Chain A
Amino acid sequence: MTLALYVPGAGVVHRLPAAVKLLALVVLAVALFALPSVAAAGAALAGVVAVGLLVARLPVAVLARQARAVVWWLGALLAVHALTTDLRTGAHVALRLLTLVLAAAVVTATTRVSEMVRVVEALCTPLRLVGVRPARVGLAVAMALRFIPVLVERADRIRAAQAARGGSARGVRALRTTVAPLLVQVLQMAHDVSEALDARGADDDPSPRHRPQEAP
């Protein structure tokens, strides 16, 4: 399982600030829904693909992987619209969705997680007024991305151990018997991780002027 989609590079798209790329993504999303035209959606899709492949120089596989992940949704949207409205509307909706998915893939493939986290922290800055520490929010986001594959791996191990002893590896029963031991492991790991955070100075939490302004 690969959640970290960043593809190293030094081109203009990679060098753009994360906030600019995220803002562009928002603008694109609004524009796609504001322009009620299949041609406009098609042009936007072509533009996104061109930026991803030609400007950011991302491998085709990066965009193809993201497109494959939503292909069933696209098919379902087309089918539903073919039955309830018309195929053209279905194509329009599917094009919008595919364009947004690929645009998001370009942003995540050209932006380090740490840069994204800094944007999240900046957005959370006003929450300081109610006692929220933006650095902690950013850390939580980074840790969520870090530990999802770890938890998937642990769940796989539990299922394999149960299957090795004749347990069911699939179905609702397998899900039920996986959740309890996984929860125990997650709690143990949460304790270990909190110790590791302490050991690495998580409580130091430097003032905003000392927060990093560029990627390592």
Chain B
Amino acid sequence: MRFRRPGAAPAADDAADPARGIELRGVGHRYGERVVLDGIDLTLTEARVGVVGANGSGKSTLARLLNGLVVPTEGRVLVDGLDTRTQVRAVRRRVGFVFQDPDAQIVHPTVAEDVAYGLENQGVPPGERAARVAEVLARYGLAGHADHPAHLLSGGQKQLLAIAGVLVMRPARVVFDEPTTLLDLINARRVADVIAGLEQQVVVVTHQLDLLDGFDRVLVVDGGRVVEDAAPGPAVAAYRALMALR
């Protein structure tokens, strides 16, 4: 099992301790009376962590806990020692989040403007912002689309734009929630290649099991609990066995 790779430098925060990784301590979550997560205790320090599970198993809620989009109704989630309940802004600067549907993530009309959005929120000066936007667009093959309307991009380009909009903020960790579900094979492979090439710690929630090849650790979530926590081979085998029983 590998340890966490050195990620891009996050915003300075004296209280943060990157060696601690992501910690979930006695985490449970419920929507009203419905329990979606229960009794989760994890420490995620590996470079590549996968999360699999059936629809409704609680894996997307688990992903949303990691950058404070969801605050647990029980227990605590700590990122580099920062509590998502009390230090959510600092946490979100350290943990980027890529959603399944890029159309819901792209908020500005044109490509470059959308990538710049997160940097504007961080107060990055205009000169540096322009350079970082240009660099990330070039890295993901979108340089020629900088001034194009975002809604005219293909599905794969939109997902790359959504990823670029997160990575330009240089988070130390990135959570992907089913990033290839809406894509064809070619674009799914492109996104998988992008994920594989990231320096950051990556947590990927997915139904596409081959995306987990080469990962360090895979969690199988079922009924709101982590029922398997192992290397990809045994974890995926356990997941297949679990689904075969349904």
Q: Do A and B come from one complex?
A: yes
Whether A202 and B105, one on each chain, are in contact in the complex, defined by CB atoms closer than 8 angstroms, is no
0/1 interface trace, chain A 179-204, chain B, CB 8 Å (1 if under): 00000000001001101111111111
Size category of the binding interface on chain B: 35 or more
Whether A146 and B96, one on each chain, are in contact in the complex, defined by CB atoms closer than 8 angstroms, is no
Q: A204-B89, A206-B120 are in contact. Are A216 and B108 (CB under 8 A)?
A: no
CA distance A88 to B110 in the complex (A): 42
Give, as a whole number of angstroms, the nearest-CB distance from B205 to chain A: 14
Interface size on A, residues (CB 8 A): 39
Which residues of chain B come closer than 8 Å to A210, judged between CB atoms? 123
Q: Who on chain A is nearest to B131 by CB? A: A216
Which residues of chain B come closer than 8 Å to A2, judged between CB atoms? 149, 152
Whether A113 and B151, one on each chain, are in contact in the complex, defined by CB atoms closer than 8 angstroms, is no
Q: Who on chain B is nearest to A204 by CB? A: B121
B130 within 8 A of partner (CB): yes
0/1 interface trace, chain A 5-23, chain B, CB 8 Å (1 if under): 0101000000000000000
> Which of these binds chain A: B111-119, B184-192, B209-217, B219-227?
B111-119
Whether B109 and A199, one on each chain, are in contact in the complex, defined by CB atoms closer than 8 angstroms, is no
0/1 interface trace, chain B 177-199, chain A, CB 8 Å (1 if under): 00000000000000000000000
Whether B151 and A199, one on each chain, are in contact in the complex, defined by CB atoms closer than 8 angstroms, is no
Give, as a whole number of angstroms, the nearest-CB distance from B138 to chain A: 13
Q: A196-B99, A212-B116, A212-B129 are in contact. Are A202 and B121 (CB under 8 A)?
A: yes
B150 within 8 A of partner (CB): yes
Give, as a whole number of angstroms, the nearest-CB distance from B170 to chain A: 12
Which residues of chain B come closer than 8 Å to A199, judged between CB atoms? 67, 69, 92, 96-97, 99, 166
